[in-house]
Amino acid sequence: MKHRSLKLKEAHKASGGGGGRAALCSIIWDPEGRHLVTASAADQSVLIHYLDQQSKPPKALDHHKEGVTALAFSPSSNSFASGSVDHSVKLYSFPDGEFQSNVTRFTLPIRSLAFNKSGSLLAAAGDDDGIKLIATIDSTISRVLKGHKASVTGLAFDPKNEFLASVDSVGTVIYWELSSGKSVHTLNSVAPICDSDSSLSNVLSWSPDGEILAVPGLRNDVVMYDRDTAEKLFTLKGDHEKSVCFLSWSPNGKYIATSGLDKQVLIWDIDLRQDIERQKFDDRITGLAWKSNGNALAVIDVMGKFGVWESTIPSCMKSPIDGAPSPQIRNDSGFLFDEDNEKSSASGSLDNVDEESHGESVPITGKRLRKQSILEDCFGEDSDGEEGLLRQIESRKRNSAKRKVDIGKGDECSSLMKSIRVRMQEAFQPGSTPIQPGKRRFLCYNLLGSITTLENEGNSHIEVDFHDTGRGPRVPSMTDYFGFTMASLNENGSVFANPCKGEKNTSTLMYRPFSSWANNSEWSMRFEAEEVQAVALGNGWVAAATSLNFLRIFTDGGLQKHILCLNGPVVTLAGLKDELAIVTHASDSLPSGDQVLDVMVLNILNGTQTIISRLPLTPSSHLTWFGFSDEGQLSSYDSKGVLRMFSTQFGGSWLPVFSASKARKSEDENYWVVGLSASKLFCIICKSPDSYPLVMPKPVLTLLNFSLPLACSDLGADELENEFVLSKISLLQIQNKVKEMVAAGIDTTALCDEAFSIEASMDRCILKLIASCCNSDKLVRATELARLLSLEKSVMGAIKLATALKLPVLAERFIGVLEESLLDKSEGAPHVSNLASSAAVTSNVAKRKILPVPAVNKPQVLKSVGSEEKSGEVGGFQLCKSPSEGNTKDSRQQMQSNLMATPSAKASSDHYKVELCNNTREGNSKAGVNQMPCVKSNETTLKDEGVNQMQSHRAVNPFAKASKNQGKSSLFDSIKKKVDNEKMDGLAKK
């Protein structure tokens, strides 16, 4: 980052006595990069500098009477314009510098000029009230835009020819719609105030793809605004000590150069959102211009001195012109053609089609281009005079999706319909922060600990810290001689990697275990002409993805175990235990800006592929975090603040479980994700404009509850519905784990208990939802909810609730649900043969049998007792006797109560629970698992069949521990037969 100080040479002499006074100076580069044009508000001359002929003196154009305050190059023709304090705008041919015409005059000084992409329209503004849009074909004023209350100092046409953006001296930014001339967005006081200094000028600039508007911010930063909504996207904040006064995008939009009042010029990487290069000057820089066909930046200061910063971007990084649109050049006949193909029209964007399909004429000469004729044949448009120009700026609907164009009219038309390619997201490491020169940053931050680095005199100092300080001895710090930029951390060790650097252009991978039985267990690998782009760790393995789309797997001892080919460029890696998750690009980004990403999960131990899926993202967003939850659930978080979790539902799908827009308490909150558990997100809250935390002071972890993006329900019970859906997701995860553990022969007692607890919690939530449905008269929905209840006690609670609310029809429905459940239980229990098998366990967990509750012989109603759960309560309601016993039940209800009160039914149900757990225990025993008792057998209940049990007791968990006593099948069959006979007798009496 250290450069030899750039020497500037004088172009314009500063006016005034002594050392002269500071003045606003301008500099522009011609499209071919062979000439520079400069001007100064303290000099009436415009100078053309011949860079390819160093000995040739600059040509002076002395057509203004006072200082020149603005310059603008027409991108599609060899001409440029100048604006002056003398109130005039003049047009010149290029490169001869011949004066063409006075374009327009104002009553006050000019401050800013801008051409649209095709060069057919020139915007001019200054101290006058209004921005003039001038048709360059005949210098007529097409429209005047009024809305600013101060001098307009900056103008920028949207490359898609839909908007004009302007900024004034008091920091107000306005988006103007060219088709209507109306302001669509106004941002008040977002840029610095500069009306007190004539050498200062607020500026703004569109990115080359037209999606982002860059504006100097109020905190010595640059703020990026969205094209369509004018919302703040992100900020660039680095080492500018004072306000930014000028900025310029690189031709490909990957970089932006900024100059500040602190006399510094910083080069920013937009993807990394950090400054990567800088230069310090003796005076403030007021003008910057990127070379359109090379790695160079032209600068000019307030004293009229200029220079060229060669090799602005380091050779190890992407060139500032790599991926930029092909420049248009003029041939000897004066017509415009693309450099790549002179016979056919340029492979430009749809914006070129929209701009040029109306048959624009070339400024000055007025000759019609061949490309223009082709487009006229395609679209049948005509373009003479001002009417054609106005048609050229007619409204195009604002959307970022690819515009639909008829391309079936010849190969030449088709070549014009190619859309702009949006940049693909670069590889990143989850839990890392961008490079901050002179500051410590995170190479890795997760729920276990963090790895930080600080550059000092060419080397870096790396430290590993654990959140749990009592975990063990502190890991010694390390001096980094390689310049590591990425790292990963787990319980066993840490891995580091750096990009290609040095004369041999090598990339290094290093692994450091935290403990080992042998000395010198640390190891490293070097890759020549291959760059490590992401790393991950697991149980006994280290993974690295490289620029050659290779996935390299090493053992923790350094053995090169696997080399796999990836389907596309890597985006990130994440590891947990035996599983490695890889995110890659599936294709180029869509014209809308959407990234197309694939996810693949590998089991390193078994050598299998467990998941392959497309990774969904919010439109126009990118991936910011990726990894596993504590329970091993694959998850992702995008730049729009949506957290998604992978689920096996519907054959494998992603579920949105958190939205930052709903969770944040204020608009300036940003969530930097660290990890997650089954129901909570672990993050660090950052305040705008910061989007990531600093190492010092130590970040504070915040836990946020998951919140699904549910529609606004007519029940008004959003929290209950959110709790219900999240419980279902958690239950499904546990079911899948039980299935895997049974298949592997592992005891599942703890997970089964957890599943039962979740089911009980779900029932409480469902009962509250049923109450809301009853109050809102949504009886069909209440019945649907009742069918989702897992415990018979809960269904009884729903019946009591409907009775208390005087909804006899709904109570009848609930009784029907109860009867169906009892019937399913009595029919299904004898046929259970081997619950220990994988399929049977999955079915048992997914389709739980409703457990019996004590008999109810007398009618009862519900009395609300708030949220407390006491003995004899169901879902927040307490069972109590009705003042009118026996008068409210019909014969059907009485029959159901009698059926439930039958001792044999109770005995049958208890015996089924014992049978279920013993079968499960036998299956675990066969699988080689230590035999664990499931449920204590209630032998007294089985023997005392004649005792009518009236007391209410808690439902028994079938996943709990069982005794070694197991009932005989003959007794079970006799009990079932007796229950079936009693049911038939009851139906016959009815």
What pLDDT is attached to residue 503?
Answer: 56
Kindly indicate the confidence band of residue 364, based on its pLDDT and cuts at 50, 70 and 90: very low
Mean pLDDT of 143-166: 93
- In order of 298, 350, 376, the CA distances from 380 in angstroms are 42, 17, 5
Q: Which of 278-287, 311-320, 951-960 is least confident?
A: 951-960
Q: Distance between CA 68 and CA 65 in Å, rounded?
A: 9
| Helix (H) or strand (E) segment spanning residue 804 | helix 792-804
Cis before 903? omega within 30: no
Kindly indicate the confidence band of residue 299, based on its pLDDT and cuts at 50, 70 and 90: very high
Please write the tens of the pLDDT for every residue from 744-793: 888 888 888 888 888 888 899 999 999 999 988 889 999 999 999 988 88
Residue with tokens 């600013």: 148
Q: Distance between CA 381 and CA 30 in Å, rounded?
A: 31
Strand order from edge to edge, sheet including 25-29:
25-29, 35-40, 43-50, 59-61
- Return the axis-axis angle of helices 808-828 and 903-926, rounded to nearest 10°: 50
Kindly indicate the confidence band of residue 987, based on its pLDDT and cuts at 50, 70 and 90: low
Residue 590 pLDDT greater than 50, yes or no: yes
Kindly indicate the confidence band of residue 819, based on its pLDDT and cuts at 50, 70 and 90: confident
Contacts by 920-923 with C-beta closer than 8 Å and gap 24+? Answer: 920/835, 920/836, 920/841, 921/836, 921/962, 922/836, 923/742, 923/834, 923/835, 923/836, 923/837, 923/841
- In order of 574, 630, 656, 722, the CA distances from 730 in angstroms are 22, 13, 14, 12
Kindly indicate the confidence band of residue 424, based on its pLDDT and cuts at 50, 70 and 90: confident
What pLDDT is attached to residue 741?
Answer: 84
How many Cβ atoms are within 10 Å of 531's Cβ, its own excluded?
A: 18
What pLDDT is attached to residue 33?
Answer: 84
What pLDDT is attached to residue 381?
Answer: 39
What pLDDT is attached to residue 34?
Answer: 86
Q: Distance between CA 157 and CA 166 in Å, rounded?
A: 9
Residue 369 pLDDT greater than 50, yes or no: no
Question: What is the rounded end-to-end Cα distance, in angstroms, of the chain?
Answer: 92
Nearest Cα residue to 931 out of 829, 832, 836, 830: 836
Question: Given phi > 0 = left and psi -120 to 50 = alpha, else beta, which region is 149?
Answer: alpha
Q: Which of 255-264, 663-672, 687-696, 830-839 is least confident?
A: 830-839
What amino acid is encoded at 782 in this protein? A
Token pair for 800: 């009591």
Question: What phi and psi, each to the nearest 5 degrees, are found at residue 216?
Answer: -60, 135
Q: Which of 51-55, 157-161, 829-833 is least confident?
A: 829-833
Higher per-residue confidence, 32 vs 325 = 32
What amino acid is encoded at 696 in this protein? M
The DSSP code for 425 is P
Assess contact for 596 and 585: CB atoms under 8 A. yes
What pLDDT is attached to residue 955?
Answer: 41
Q: Distance between CA 202 and CA 190 in Å, rounded?
A: 11
What pLDDT is attached to residue 409?
Answer: 39
Q: Distance between CA 201 and CA 307 in Å, rounded?
A: 21
What pLDDT is attached to residue 26?
Answer: 94
Q: Identify the bridge partners of residue 464 per DSSP, sorted by sequence position.
A: 451
CA atoms within 13 A on the CB side of 848: 25
Q: How many residues in the chain?
A: 990
Residue 864 pLDDT greater than 50, yes or no: no
Residue 532 pLDDT greater than 90, yes or no: yes
Q: Distance between CA 750 and CA 425 in Å, rounded?
A: 42
Q: How wide is the angle at C-alpha 146 spanned by C-alphas 143 and 148, nearest 5°?
A: 145
Strand order from edge to edge, sheet including 244-249:
244-249, 255-260, 264-269, 274-280
The DSSP code for 501 is B
Which residues lie below 8 Å from residue 103, measured CB to CB, with a gap of 6+? 81, 89, 90, 91, 122, 124, 134, 136, 139
Higher per-residue confidence, 266 vs 419 = 266
What pLDDT is attached to residue 458?
Answer: 67
Q: Distance between CA 794 and CA 786 in Å, rounded?
A: 9
Nearest Cα residue to 103 out of 115, 86, 91: 91
- In order of 120, 130, 163, 398, 784, the CA distances from 395 in angstroms are 17, 21, 10, 9, 50
Nearest Cα residue to 899 out of 856, 928, 846, 929: 856
DSSP string for residues in 16-49: SSTT-----EEEEE-TTSSEEEEEETTEEEEEEE
Residue 461's Cβ-count burial label (10 Å; 0-12, 13-18, 19+) is middle
- Return the axis-axis angle of helices 718-743 and 749-775, rounded to nearest 10°: 160
DSSP string for residues in 360-412: PBPTTT-PBPHHHHHHHHHH-----HHHHHHHHT------SSPPP----S-HH
The widest CA-to-CA distance across the chain, in whole angstroms, is 118
What 3-state class would DSSP assign to 265?
strand
What pLDDT is attached to residue 144?
Answer: 92
Residue with tokens 């267990």: 521
Residue 287 pLDDT greater than 80, yes or no: yes
Assess contact for 10 and 289: CB atoms under 8 A. no
Residue with tokens 């104002």: 106
Q: Distance between CA 714 and CA 725 in Å, rounded?
A: 17
Residue 145's Cβ-count burial label (10 Å; 0-12, 13-18, 19+) is buried
Assess contact for 431 and 442: CB atoms under 8 A. yes
Residue 552 pLDDT greater than 90, yes or no: yes
What 3-state class would DSSP assign to 737?
helix
Residue 36 pLDDT greater than 80, yes or no: yes
Most confident of 18-32, 378-392, 519-533: 519-533
Q: Distance between CA 921 and CA 841 in Å, rounded?
A: 12
Q: Distance between CA 852 and CA 900 in Å, rounded?
A: 8
What pLDDT is attached to residue 394?
Answer: 42
Q: Distance between CA 912 and CA 935 in Å, rounded?
A: 11
What 3-state class would DSSP assign to 718?
helix
Q: Distance between CA 167 and CA 581 in Å, rounded?
A: 46
Nearest Cα residue to 422 out of 162, 163, 209: 209
Residue with tokens 């958690």: 730
What pLDDT is attached to residue 664?
Answer: 85
Residue 683 pLDDT greater than 60, yes or no: yes
Q: Which of 93-97, 419-423, 964-968 is least confident?
A: 964-968
Question: Residue-wise over 33-54: b if at least 16 C-beta within 10 A, else e?
Answer: bebbbbbbbbbbbbbbbebeee
Most confident of 453-462, 618-627, 681-690: 618-627
Residue 419 pLDDT greater than 90, yes or no: no
**Where are the strands (E) in 677-783, listed by range?**
680-687, 702-705
Mean pLDDT of 503-531: 86
- In order of 23, 157, 933, the CA distances from 68 in angstroms are 10, 21, 93
Q: Distance between CA 143 and CA 123 in Å, rounded?
A: 10
Residue with tokens 């992603």: 654
Rg (C-alpha) for the chain, rounded Å, is: 37
Higher per-residue confidence, 438 vs 467 = 467
Please write the tens of the pLDDT for every residue from 381-412: 333 434 444 444 443 334 444 344 343 434 44
